Structure 1
C-alpha cells in the first residue's frame, strides 16, 4: 500500500510539473519578445557591399534574408515608408578569407570566410533600444578548395548566422 501511494504521488508530481511547464511556456514566446505589440512596421533598407572583395550576390541575398526573418518571425509589416516604427540599415564592411588550423608543416588545414556587417537600428518608438554596431560570422572550408568553389555553400550558412544575430539584437535585446 505504501509503495502504491509513493508511486501515485510521483505520478501526480510529474503530471503537475508538466502542466506547470506547459502553462508557463504558453505565456512566454521568444520570437518578437521585446517588440511592443503596438509597433506595426519595419523598414529594412538594402545593405550595400563596401567590403574590399565584391560578391555581386551578397548584398541582395543578405538583405532579402534579413527582411524574411523579420517578416516570418514577427507581426511587423515590411514597408519602404520613412515613418516606419523600426528602421534598419547598414552595409557589408568585411568579406575576408584567412587561413586557420595551421599544421606542423605550416600549411593551412582549413580556410575561413568571415563576413562583417555594420547595422544601424533605429527604434522610432523607444530610442533607448536603438544601436549602431557590427556583427560578424564565419565558416571554415577545406584548404584544398578555392574560395570560389566553397563560396555558395558558405554564404548561406554565414548569412543565416548574421541575420539571426541581428534579429536577436533587435527583437530580443541581446
Structure 2
C-alpha cells in the first residue's frame, strides 16, 4: 500500500511537471528563429552612447537564454522584433517642503514592434517603460551605472513576458 502511494505521488508530480512550463509557453515548438534588430537611441533629452547596444544585447540574451529560438539576421525569421529607445530622462520625485527634490528618477521608454510571422494575431506595436530612483545629491552620471542594469532588466523582462507569455 505504501509503495502504491509513493508511485502515485511520483506519477502525479511527473504529470503536473509536463503540463506547466515557466518560460516560452506562448512560443510554439515549431518556431525556430528570431530576429532582434538594434534599437537606435532616439531619446530627445539625454544621450548615453552605449545605451542602444546594451539594451539590444540584453534583449537578445533573454530570448537566447530562455527559449530555444535561434538568433538570426534573416528578415523572414519566425519572430521579428525591432523598435527604438524613445525616452531616457531624469525627473524629480519626492519633493520636500522646501521645494527641493528628495529623490530623482531615471526613466527609460522603448517602443517595440513585434511581428509574429507564424501567428499574426500575436503581433503588436507598443511602448514599455521602466525607472529607478536615486538620491538627489547625486548627478545622473554618478548614479547611472548602478541604475541602468536594473532598468534594462525590467524592460527586457516586460518585453519577453509580452511576447513569450502573452502578457
| TM superposition score normalised by structure 2 | 0.91
Counting only pairs closer than 5 Å after superposition, residues 101-140 of structure 1 correspond to structure 2 as 101-140=94-133
Q: Are residues 1:63 and 2:56 paired?
A: yes
**1:84 aligned residue:** 77
Matched residues, number = 161
Q: Which digits, 9 at most, give the CA deviation of each residue in 1:22-55, with x for residues without a partner?
A: 6413421020000011000000000000001210
Measured in 2, the distance between the counterparts of 1:127 and 1:44 equals: 17
Unaligned runs of 5+ in 2: none
Distance 1:132 1:85 in 2: 17
The Cα RMSD (Å) is 1.7
Matches within 5 A, 1:1-174: 20=12, 23-52=15-44, 53-174=46-167
Which residue of structure 2 aligns with residue 9 of structure 1? none
Aligned equivalents of 2:40, 2:117: Cα separation in 1 = 23
Cα distance in 1 for partners of 2:65, 2:58 equals 10
Give how far 1:20 is off. Answer: 4.2
Per the TM alignment, residue 21 of structure 1 is displaced from its structure 2 partner at its CA by 5.7
Gaps of 5+ in 1: 1-11
Greater Cα radius of gyration, structure 1 or 2: 1
Moved over 6 A (4+): none
| Cα shift readout 1:81-119 (whole Å, capped 9, x = no counterpart) | 111000000000000100001111111110000000000
Q: Secondary structure at the match of 2:24?
A: coil
**TM-score, with normalisation over the residues of structure 1?**
0.88
